[in-house]
Each structure stands twice: as structure tokens, then as C-alpha cells.
Amino acid sequence: MSDMTIEVEIKEIKEMLDELNRKIDTLVQDRETLAMMVTSEHSLKHFLVHEPDLYSTKDIKVRYR
């Protein structure tokens, strides 16, 4: 193999690694976002369960007949 071929292959490998790193970063960010959403849901659940309903089922039925 010539030095030029090796350099081209190394460049292609670096580009592939860069793309993989970007994809991994996106996946990690998505996973962190999902974890925050689940945490928020769990932490707000107790609060929301004890909050009074603003509208009853009866109110909704009257409004959307």
C-alpha cells in the first residue's frame, strides 16, 4: 500500500468515528432528556394527585356535547 492510500483510509476512519461520536452524543442527550421527563413525572405525581380538579367530568360533558 502506498502512503497516500493509508492516509486516505485514516481520514475516512476519522470521519466515521466523528459521525459515530455525534450519534452517541445525540443518544446520550435523548436518554438524559427522557430521564428528566420521567423524574419530573414522578416528582409531580404526588402534587397533582392531591390538587383539586378544575373541571369535573360533568363540566366537560356539557361543554363537548
Q: What are the domain boundaries of the chain?
A: 3-63
Residue 16, CB half-sphere, CA atoms under 13 Å: how many?
6
Rg (CA), the chain: 26
Taking only the tens place, the pLDDT of each residue in 3-57 is 789 999 999 999 999 999 999 999 999 999 999 999 988 888 887 788 777 777 7
Secondary structure percentages of the chain, helix, strand, coil, to 5: 85, 0, 15
Q: What is the pTM of this model?
A: 0.57
